[in-house]
Amino acid sequence: MRVLFFSLAVLALSACGSNAPKQVTSAGTLHSVDGLTPPHLTVTHAAAGVAPGFVFVAEKGGKDKPSGPVIADNRGRIVWYHEVPHGLEATDFRTQTYRGKPVLTWWQGTISKAGVGRGEYVIYDDTYHELTTLKAGDGLDGDLHEFTLTPRGTAYITVYHEVPADLSSVGGPKEGFVYDSVVQELDVATGDVKFEWHSLEHVPLAESLQANREPAKNATKKRPLDYFHVNSVGDAPDGNILISARNTSALYLLARDGHVVWRLGGKRSDFGPPADVKFRFQHDARLHADGTLSLFDNGAIPKLEPFTRPLVLKIDETERIAAIQKTFVHPLKISAPYEGNLQLLDDGGAFVGWGGVRKVTEFSQSGKVRFELKLPYGDTYRGYRLPWAGRPGGRPAVSVGGDRVYASWNGKTDVAFWEVLSGPDADHLSRIAGHAWTGLETAIQLETPPPAVAVRALDGKGRVLGVSETVTS
């Protein structure tokens, strides 16, 4: 009965009264929250039959536009936005689990033109307070490509460390420079390095697709040869670690002593048949409990394949056989030049971030598009659909501009409706209007400017979640 009453009240508020509200679409700088300029997200394929949860992207803005993690709903309306300091970027934004509780994680820092990051790794709790910030160990700089938490209370990260090297074996200068791709596993609580692996100790320069080509021939300290380019790290069975290297077009299964157990793809693949394991410049390789392996195959740029293919492979490690089990191909045959990821969903569908093409797409189990969202600028390194319940605490925010009232509660995931309270002063307020939640900031236009005003947040069942302070116009 309470739900019915609330629904009828919403209809009544929308249809009558001298201060009946009119929706005002707000974009750009917010009125009720200082210092935030959220991006305007566009849904290009309406959600139909999608998996539960919100959309997670990290908008990269470059030097001139705002950057930061974004949580959005199926209509592209922003639920939470966190703007990183000017000049920094954010990547790999998602939910993970730390000490048995859901957390938000991302990397933030600076990114070079070569796609190398230098920054730190951030963990927030569900009240949007920082739990910790991690840095790479051994005095190295933490790179943007991976930040994966494990059930052991550790985190995998990547590092690109420029070192001098004799590159004459791959057509480069004898006194050249190369990026050593480093994988670290850090203890989240202490920051101690629990595992460290260096590509130069285990993978020769000759495995690179850049060997004897321009990147190798003129490698300098300012532009080291990026022969390996590690871009994903994750747990694998038997305590092993699976990593992906873009510039060898290969995946490597690592043992805890550092040796390579097997290679998949590239010049020295241990798997066959070759035609079924062909991929290039891939990202986001993950081994799953059912014996499948997912990856994002970027092979269309440079043009070695006709288009980008998010792939699921069936792996037989004993027989060393790999075969394509499923692909999720976009109807437009998208070619992603860099970045990207493939998230497999519980219902057999998939969520795909297209990296350098600023879209995220959700596919059904049969491979049909059932949702798509476009970013206004830059790109997102990865994209995800994930469950989340945010509890920001405090009170809703309110601002008044003339006859418009702006209401927000950044990160509160269960707000469904706003009520406007007004009166001669803070002690004599009554409800004069209401409006459904429309995103990070809901703008409500009244017939006349209110003398004193507050807003009240309600959930979908009409329960009061919080009331703002009172402000005067």
- pLDDT per residue as tens digits for the range 262-279: 999 999 999 988 777 889
Structural contact between residues 203 and 213, judged by C-beta atoms closer than 8 angstroms: no
Fold for the domain defined by 42-386: Neuraminidase (2.120.10)
pLDDT-derived band at 450, boundaries 50, 70, 90: confident
pLDDT at 22: 33
Comparison of pLDDT for 6 and 298, the residue scoring more: 298
Asked if residue 20 has pLDDT above 60, the reply is no
State the Cα–Cα distance between residues 100 and 78, nearest whole angstrom.
Answer: 27
For residues 304 and 27, the model is more confident at: 304
Residue 29 pLDDT exceeds 70:
yes
Residue 5's pLDDT is 34
- Would you state the structure tokens that stand for residue 244, as one six-digit string? 């992906």
* Distance between CA atoms of residues 315 and 294, nearest Å: 10
Same fold yes or no, 2-28+395-472 and 42-386: no
pLDDT bucket at 13, cuts 50 / 70 / 90: very low
What are the tens digits of pLDDT across the range 71-98? 999 999 999 999 999 999 999 999 999 9
The domain spans of the chain are 2-28+395-472, 42-386
Q: Are 156 and 200 in contact (CB under 8 A)?
A: no
Q: Is the pLDDT of residue 355 over 80?
A: yes
- Look up the pTM and report it: 0.93
Helix (H, G, I), strand (E, B) or coil at 78: strand
Give the model confidence (pLDDT) of 36-77 as tens digits. Answer: 999 999 999 999 999 999 999 999 998 889 999 999 999 999
pLDDT, tens digit, for every residue of 198-210? Answer: 999 999 999 999 9
Evaluate if residue 342 carries a pLDDT over 70.
Answer: yes
Residue 28: per-residue pLDDT: 60
- Say if residue 302 is preceded by a cis peptide, omega within 30 of 0: yes
User: According to the model, what pLDDT value does residue 26 have?
Assistant: 34
**2-28+395-472: what fold?**
Immunoglobulin-like (2.60.40)
Q: Does pLDDT of 396 surpass 60? A: yes
What digits encode the pLDDT tens for the residues 128-175? 999 999 999 999 999 999 999 999 999 999 999 999 999 999 999 999
